[in-house]
Amino acid sequence: MIDLKGVSKSYGPVAAVRGVDLSVPPGCVFGIIGRSGAGKSSLLRTMSLLERPDSGEVRYSGERVDGLRGRALLERRRRMGMIFQNFNLLASRDAVGNVAFPLEIAGVPRKRIDARARELLETVGIADKRRARMSELSGGQKQRVAIARALAANPEVLFCDEATSSLDPQTTRSILALIRDLQVRLGITVVLITHQMEVIREICQEVAVMEAGKIVESGRVDDVFAAPKAAATKEMLHV
């Protein structure tokens, strides 16, 4: 699904991502874990085409996409969904208005927008909150609105940037269960970054461990957790 080859990204003198090679299989939940400053958010931004890598290649299903510009880049981005830690919702809109927003930008007819937004809020379990303002919703409810919005354009891949870090443990489990259910039902690929080993253990089939801008270990979650090889992995697992 997604293949990176020699991807690097720097911000001034700081090398955030350094020569990363990585393959994300289609139809799985793939986790990228590392401590703060390991480079995982920068890697996610290059994978999702929010930023262009300084060097290396990003390919989707064999097609190189890191050089896309203009309309071609916008069209590719519309085939991706993104969920953020701080939700990134519009306070001036209610729940259904937030879900409708990307469809409005894409020029979808109004009747289809309304039907799709209502359908998605039902899918994520908060159809009764469609007219609620963001200030009236709990953190878990806000994240459900954000998930519905991310799915509005039927993406092929869903990126999750520390999507549960600001939530309590019970709400985290419910959001992870929702993401896992959606991945199975919709057959999409999910790529999530986190610093929480329990999140990887709960939802991911495969994992890559980052340290100092590099992938130091990757593989099936069960294999990596059972016999960690990299020092960074051992430390996070307290082995």
- 126 sits in which H/E element: none
Q: At which residue do the structure tokens 């209610």 appear? A: 94
The one-letter amino acid code at 38 reads: A
Helices 95-105 and 110-123, interaxial angle, to 10°?
130
Beta strands 80-84 and 157-161: pairing type?
A: parallel
Q: Chunked in runs of 10, what are the mean pLDDT values of the chain (239 residues)?
A: 97 97 96 95 96 97 95 93 92 96 92 94 96 96 96 95 91 95 95 94 96 97 95 88
pLDDT of residue 239: 67
What strands lie across the sheet with 206-211, from one edge to the other?
Answer: 80-84, 157-161, 189-194, 29-33, 206-211, 214-220
CA distance 79 to 75: 7
CB 195 within 8 A of CB 232: no
Where do runs of H (alpha helix) occur along 85-208? 95-105, 110-123, 139-150, 169-186, 197-203
CA distance 215 to 137: 37
Report residue 72 CA to chain centroid gap: 21
Classify the C-alpha dihedral 10-13-14-18 as positive or negative: positive
Considering the entire predicted model, what is its pTM?
A: 0.94
pLDDT of residue 238: 82
Beta strands 189-194 and 29-33: pairing type?
A: parallel
Let me know the angle formed at the C-alpha of 203 by 197 and 208, rounded to the nearest 5 degrees: 55
pLDDT of residue 52: 96
CA distance 190 to 73: 20
CA distance 104 to 97: 10
Report residue 71 CA to chain centroid gap: 22
pLDDT of residue 166: 86
Q: Look at residues 74, 98, 96 and name the one whose alpha carbon lies nearest to residue 88.
A: 98
